Amino acid sequence: MTPEPVRALDALPVSRRDLLVGTGAFAAGAALAALFGRPSVAGATGVPPWPWPYRPLDPDTVAQAGYEGYWQGGCMYGAAKAIIGQLAQVIGHPYTLVPLDMFRYGAGGFAGWGTLCGALNGAGAAVALVTPKEAHSQILGELTGWYTQTAFPIYRPVGQGALTTSVAGSPLCHVSVSKWCAAARAREDSQERKERCARLTGDVAAQATRLLNAYHRGTFAPAFALSPETAGCLDCHGAAGMSDTLGKMECVDCHTPHT
């Protein structure tokens, strides 16, 4: 039997459905390439270079958007949407291209693992989108330090009462939630705890906005300082000493002080 000759790819039959699917995949790939700053095959991104443009936002409006966003997709989603969503309204393109659903993974401190607070994570993504590396490192350092020292929640939706507040002393979701639950004598799975985290999401998004506004007005000045206890620990364990640790979190929250 004579074998069937091998046909060139461009000679193979292509159905209308295959053509449409292939074209759609190409278009989606080009859109993603454009969104993340990489040239598409066509060579045009249509997106400004990073960092993206910024205009000062109203912190109160952002706080409300963060609170509402929490109920839609969790703390990280709420904080990111609060800032990026407002920029989409004020500036429009390219913020209208950002797929906000990708920030849903941070709920509960990274997929429920209780690590970095999702509100910090989402606000951090927004801050990093509009500031160069050195600047967003300083801004987010200030935001995180503020988070560890602030009694949350501050934000109160119109017509609702106050909630018990607590100071986390840590940027970790696990610590933040557990300390609040102890102060409020509430369960983690209670509606009251969820309301607390919704308000906290608004608080963090609003504070990140204040810091961004200050930076873009040229008035941002870092003020956070390590506690004497943590600074003392880092004298030995930091870069100037044994250099066997990394971070700025309060040491004595988890470690017994020693001499």
Helix (H, G, I), strand (E, B) or coil at 28: helix
Residue found under tokens 């501050």: 154
Distance CA 180, CA 129 (A): 31
- Averaged pLDDT score across all residues of the chain: 85
Query: pLDDT class for 247, splitting at 50, 70, 90?
Result: confident
Distance CA 89, CA 172 (A): 31
pLDDT digits (tens, 9 = 90+) for 175-212: 999 999 999 999 999 999 999 999 999 999 999 999 99
Residue 16 has pLDDT above 50, yes or no: no
pLDDT digits (tens, 9 = 90+) for 93-146: 999 999 999 999 999 999 999 999 999 999 999 999 999 999 999 999 999 999
Residue 220 has pLDDT above 80, yes or no: yes
